[in-house]
Amino acid sequence: IYAGIVKDPMLHILISISGGVGAAFGKLIVYYFGYGIRHVLPENIKKNMEVFVELFKRSTFIAVLIFAASPLPDDIVYVPLGATKYDVKKYFIALVSGKIIITGIAVYFGSAFTGLLSETAQYPEYITFPILILISLYIMYLVAKIDWVVVANEFSKKGFIGGVKYLVRTTIEYTLKLLSGIIGFFIRKIR
């Protein structure tokens, strides 16, 4: 949201980099959680995880980058990497790169949307800023509620059109649930 108000492109870059690095440091905790649980895992599970990581050794860096740069649930990838002692330097480089990408995309779209909103509506910032906060909260709600693994499966099984249809249908479903909850909340408060 802050990036939408800032007009300097260099500040957009700094916001993207600092946001990406901060998010990557947060995900180091997930890696070290996996590293820590390694000691309590049964030997057969440890062995299976090591074989899995070894099989995909060449594409692990790319997988971390893709998961970090997308709204996919990434902890399911990071915990096993920690448990198998995947190279933390490679992990962190892929993680920072991916988080900078997704933060940069968010900064770009937030900035573009703010510019579009302020140019077309001619509203002052004290009106557009709360609107942007509400839109950001709505998008965060959708990203948290949508099962991205199912979305990825729909795209792979039914192609682009099938995946988009599923995503639109799910978005509408969760939007209606959200609106229903908000309306129900206000009705209870009025009574």
Collapsing DSSP to helix, strand or coil, 86 comes out as coil
Ordered by start, the domain boundaries in the chain are: 2-126, 146-191
Span 153-165, pLDDT tens digits: 887 888 888 888 9
Query: What pLDDT, on the 0 to 100 scale, is given for residue 55?
Result: 67
In sequence order, the 6+-apart residues with CB closer than 8 A to the CB of 66 are 72, 98
Distance from C-alpha of 72 to C-alpha of 146, rounded to nearest angstrom: 10
Q: What is the mean pLDDT of residues 53-75?
A: 81
**Percentage of residues in the chain having pLDDT higher than 90:** 28
> Which tokens belong to 90?
């490679």
Distance (Å) of CA 46 to CA 12, 40, 63, 75, 84: 42, 10, 20, 17, 7
How many CB atoms neighbour CB 118 within 10 A? 16
Torsion of CA 104, 142, 30, 109, to 10 degrees: 0
Question: Which whole number is the average pLDDT over 41-54?
Answer: 77
What sign results for the dihedral spanned by CA atoms 112, 118, 124, 128?
A: negative
Is the overall model pTM greater than 0.85, yes or no? no
* DSSP secondary structure letters along 20-77: HHHHHHHHHHHHHHHHHHGGGS-HHHHHHHHHHHHHTHHHHHHHHHHHHTSSS-THHH
**Cα-to-chain-centroid distance, residue 88:** 21
Task: Report the amino acid identity of residue 19.
Answer: G
97-137 per-position pLDDT tens digit:
999 999 888 888 777 776 666 666 677 777 777 877 788 78
- Give the residue, 150 or 29, on which the prediction is more confident: 29
The residues, any chain, with a CB within 8 Å of residue 77's CB and separated by 6 or more, are 63, 64, 67
CA atoms of 156 and 26, how far apart (whole Å): 30
